[in-house]
Structure 1
Amino acid sequence: MLAVNLRSFKRKLAIHRKTYRSFLNKMEKTPAPKIDQLTPIVAAEVWQQVDCTSCANCCKKMTPTFTAKDLKRIAAHFNQTVDAFKEQWLLKDKNNDWVNVKQPCQFLNKQTNMCSIYEVRPADCAGFPHLSKKKFEEYAHVHKQNLDYCPATFLMVQKLKDRVATLTLHK
């Protein structure tokens, strides 16, 4: 597993972003045959190559949405009421969702890139970057968003695009 080089990731993103977003748009509208079977295989390959703790770009540049269950669990972890937790750490965004009040995430240890509340972290964080969900086309819009922040998503889209192209050639 290799450490993530964010500078290299940003250069590659600048070059390939438009092409990869176009691929995701196409897969969202007309998914390639067997993409749902291919995605978990590619996701496993990606996790052999990407070390999230060397990156933590998601924690540095994005915020999770905190569900009601998340709020109860995390507030209890801090021995706070849900209201006290929200007042100290969160705000409502334009969609009326509870999100972090600042970035990088206040729970990110900047020296280790580790989450200080990992055991009770929000469900959004636990599932991120949502690489191998059951129906690819239902998560293509999520991958389009995550592409800009997550080297694992970038690599997955790159690999899927290459595999789909190969499958199309061998038809």
Structure 2
Amino acid sequence: MAKPVDFPAFKQKVSENKVAMRRFLGKLEKEPPRFLDKMAVALEGEVWQHTDCLSCANCCKTMSPTFTQQDIKRIATHLKMTPSAFKEQWLDYDEKEGEWSNKKQPCQFLNLATNKCHIYEVRPDDCAGFPHLTKRKMKDYLHVHQQNVEYCPATYRMVERMQQQVVKKKGEWIFTYPD
């Protein structure tokens, strides 16, 4: 069973280790090992044993997903709104990035008393995939993990385990599978 997140302890660990974790992920990104995807799958189960998202919800409190046009249509329909009305009420458009995101934080759909999402069944794809631990091409998400170690205890745990089990010997990355 997943353990509740001790958020003060998590923030302390992040302040002590995020630089080293980001540096480690940067090295993997520059020279990704062949086993990267298999390693993520091998570690994911353990990560979720140590992380109860509902005891945390830091992603919903401090980050904003990007909303695709399909997300906007699906959520607007669920809320019995037009996509235009939904965007006007809840979203901002970033001209530079070309992306829709929440107008405010924490997320307007987060129930702060329970850490549950009011639109969970139709949430944005970005939320459904978060924290993107086992993407098919993990090497393409290492830069995302560099950011997320600071916000997501599951990502932090994954990178922590990677640091313990991935070493470079004779110029080659080696993964020592978990026991």
Residue ranges of structure 1 left out of the alignment (5+ in a row): none
Aligned-CA RMSD value: 1.5
CA contact (8 A) 2:35 2:175 kept: no
CA contact (8 A) 2:165 2:175 kept: no
Please list, as runs of the form range in 1=range in 2, the aligned pairs for 1:116-135 lying within 5 A after superposition.
Answer: 116-135=118-137
Instruction: Check 1:135–1:111 CA distance in 2 against 1; reply closer, same or farther (3 A cut).
Output: same
Q: Can you list the C-alpha shifts for 1:57-90, whole angstroms capped at 9, x where unaligned?
A: 0000000000010000000011111000000100
| Identity level (%) | 52
With normalisation by structure 2, the TM-score equals 0.91
- AA of the residue aligned to 2:97: N
Alpha-carbon distance between aligned partners in 1 of 2:175 and 2:74, rounded to the nearest angstrom: 50
Question: Where does residue 154 of structure 1 map in the other structure?
Answer: 156
CA contact (8 A) 1:29 1:137 kept: no
Alpha-carbon distance between aligned partners in 2 of 1:34 and 1:74, rounded to the nearest angstrom: 37
- AA of the residue aligned to 1:126: A
1:51 aligns with 2:76: no
Deviating above 2 A after TM superposition, structure 1's stretches of 4 or more consecutive aligned residues are 165-170
Residue 66 of structure 2 aligns to a residue whose secondary structure is coil
- AA of the residue aligned to 1:32: P
Alpha-carbon distance between aligned partners in 2 of 1:147 and 1:17, rounded to the nearest angstrom: 7
Alpha-carbon distance between aligned partners in 2 of 1:164 and 1:67, rounded to the nearest angstrom: 35
Please list, as runs of the form range in 1=range in 2, the aligned pairs for 1:47-86 lying within 5 A after superposition.
Answer: 47-86=48-87
Alpha-carbon distance between aligned partners in 2 of 1:130 and 1:98, rounded to the nearest angstrom: 19
Relative to total residues, which structure has the larger helix share, 1 or 2?
1
CA contact (8 A) 1:75 1:81 kept: yes
- By how many angstroms is 1:168 displaced? 4.0
Please list, as runs of the form range in 1=range in 2, the aligned pairs for 1:7-18 lying within 5 A after superposition.
Answer: 7-18=8-19
CA contact (8 A) 1:65 1:99 kept: yes
Q: Can you list the C-alpha shifts for 1:124-160, whole angstroms capped at 9, x where unaligned?
A: 0000000011122111011011111001000000001
Question: Where does residue 108 of structure 1 map in the other structure?
Answer: 110
- By how many angstroms is 1:123 displaced? 0.2
Residue ranges of structure 2 left out of the alignment (5+ in a row): none
With normalisation by structure 1, the TM-score equals 0.95
- By how many angstroms is 1:96 displaced? 2.6
- Count of residue pairs the alignment pairs up: 170
- AA of the residue aligned to 2:7: L
Alpha-carbon distance between aligned partners in 2 of 1:135 and 1:87, rounded to the nearest angstrom: 35
